[in-house]
Structure 1
Amino acid sequence: MSSEADDRARRVAPGVARTALYERVADWLIAYIAERGVAVDDRLPTERSLAERFDVSRASVRQALAALQAQGLIEIRHGDGIYLRRRPEERLAFESLLAKRRRLPEVIEARQALEVALAGLAAQRRTDGDLQRIWLALDLMDADIAAGGIGAEGDKHFHAAVTAAAGNALLRELMDYLAGVIHDTRIASLSQPGRPKRSSAQHRRIAEAIEAGDPAAAQTAMRAHIDLVGDLT
């Protein structure tokens, strides 16, 4: 992930506390440990895998891991791997999950308001180049899923391509401003069991409607997709 993309991931919506990106990565990892039931002495994913999973730079992951190691939660054994040294306190894990779920409804409302409209506009205004970028993003997502990933990078590129195809500079700026919190919902959703393939299928229905020039179908498909994103168990 580029430094420019990292910068976009730091941006948050009005009223949402701003935190360093590595702190947010640390929170995602704590939530991951809690949700997956990772046991003490279990090996965690590699630095590279975590960067791909959370769609951030390896530098941000490295900072997050260093912070968690300083807290005694993990142990980085150079040449061997990253191991869970002790489980996060229940309070810490609970607060991480609770914060994610407390903010989710407002983020989903914002995404419904913006991205449903963007999908309809994209169906009306898309160019051949826009369609190419949309389908390439989906191919990237599916390739990552097939390799065992969650498809976060392809997902990000897909929504960016739809936003660009809509041709509305102001809506694009709003989406860019919300990139940080949207990224949170993306990671939370795609981390759910079986979710990446379902998300990919929904993306393809959106893409097909945009390609067909059908605004109503594109909006319906996008609305269903955002509903799925908000369904965290």
Structure 2
Amino acid sequence: MTDDALRPMTRPRLYEQVLERLRAYADEHELVAGDRLPPERELAQRLGVSRASVKQAVVVLEVQGLVETRHGGGTYLVRDTLDAEPVDRLVERRRRLPDVLEAREALETKLAELAAERRTESDLAEMRTALRGMESDIAAGGHGVEGDRHFHAAVTAAGHSTLLAEFMGSIAEAVAESRNESLRQPGRPTRSLDQHVRILEAIEAGSPKAAATAMRRHVRTVAKVRLLEWDPGEENEGS
């Protein structure tokens, strides 16, 4: 019988401690979106750590869409907080994301193909409504998350395949994670909206091959996220 209380202890990565200090700093100084963090070199000196540790902490904040680093111009808050998701949860999402995206490409490409063959006028109206909602949200400064969800749900419904729809439902939570991850990439909401329009046009035209191609291109764009470029391993303290 394993004694859970005596399981091996894990040592917090140094950059996780830096993350907590940065969050506290932002709170104490009441930083909001648009405010700039001190330069990495200054942060490293004040915290007594390497610049590598600071850089890794900043990357984690970037991955979560909390800050953006401008080339030659510093690091700025994107939101009014630096409350980051726990690193362990981030690591787990990074681990499963490739499988989710692989499943999405397989299922949604086929569903788009079927939608082009089987869609009804009601199905098309639902897709158009979804895109109008996504466009309005983006224009108001949002990421278009609900409109994106609505559009993909409408394409799934238009495929009129009970079993494929059930498969999509079984991974709905994971798909939502991949959607949120993608839409917080800089410039991604507008690009996704444009790709949705191409998918709809192919479905409207009754072209299964074009619809499948457009959906495959879209899902592969969704797969290009900062999270998958991030290495959550230990930072090199020698730099």
Q: Which residue of 2 aligns with 1:191?
A: 184
Task: Choose the corresponding residue for 2:156, options 163, 167, 174.
Answer: 163
Deviation per residue, 1:67-117 (Å, 9 max, x gap): xxxxxxxxxxxxxxx974x765xxx64333322221111001110110000
Aligned equivalents of 2:207 and 2:225: distance in 1?
Answer: 29
Aligned equivalents of 2:111 and 2:31: distance in 1?
Answer: 43
Which residue identity lines up with residue 190 of structure 1 in the other structure? L
Aligned equivalents of 2:131 and 2:189: distance in 1?
Answer: 11
Task: Choose the corresponding residue for 1:232, options 213, 219, 225.
Answer: 225
Q: Which residue of 1 aligns with 2:60?
A: none
Q: Residues 98, 138 of structure 1: CA spacing in aligned structure 2 closer, same or farther, 3 A cutoff?
A: same
- TM-score calculated relative to the size of structure 2: 0.61
Aligned equivalents of 1:186 and 1:203: distance in 2?
Answer: 13
Aligned equivalents of 2:127 and 2:83: distance in 1?
Answer: 40
1:69-218 mapped onto 2 (5 Å cutoff): 84=81, 93-218=86-211
Aligned equivalents of 2:88 and 2:182: distance in 1?
Answer: 18
Aligned equivalents of 1:201 and 1:191: distance in 2?
Answer: 16
Which residue identity lines up with residue 158 of structure 1 in the other structure? F
Which residue identity lines up with residue 107 of structure 1 in the other structure? V
Q: Which residue of 1 aligns with 2:31?
A: 42
- TM-score calculated relative to the size of structure 1: 0.63
Which residue identity lines up with residue 144 of structure 1 in the other structure? D
After superposition, the CA RMSD in angstroms is: 2.2
Which residue identity lines up with residue 212 of structure 1 in the other structure? A
Larger Rg: 2
Aligned equivalents of 1:95 and 1:190: distance in 2?
Answer: 22
Would you say how many aligned residue pairs link Structure 1 and Structure 2?
157
Q: CA deviation at 1:42?
A: 2.9
Deviation per residue, 1:39-86 (Å, 9 max, x gap): 333358xxxxxxxxxxxxxxxxxxxxxxxxxxxxxxxxxxxxx974x7
Unaligned 5+ segments in structure 1 are 1-33, 45-81
Q: CA deviation at 1:231?
A: 0.6
Aligned equivalents of 1:106 and 1:140: distance in 2?
Answer: 29
Aligned equivalents of 1:204 and 1:182: distance in 2?
Answer: 20
Which residue identity lines up with residue 31 of structure 2 in the other structure? D
Unaligned 5+ segments in structure 2 are 1-18, 34-78, 227-239
Aligned equivalents of 2:168 and 2:131: distance in 1?
Answer: 19
Larger relative helix fraction? 1
Q: Residues 195, 212 of structure 1: CA spacing in aligned structure 2 closer, same or farther, 3 A cutoff?
A: same
SS class of match (1:187) = helix
Q: Residues 206, 94 of structure 1: CA spacing in aligned structure 2 closer, same or farther, 3 A cutoff?
A: same
Deviation per residue, 1:129-175 (Å, 9 max, x gap): 11000011001000000000000000000001000000001111111
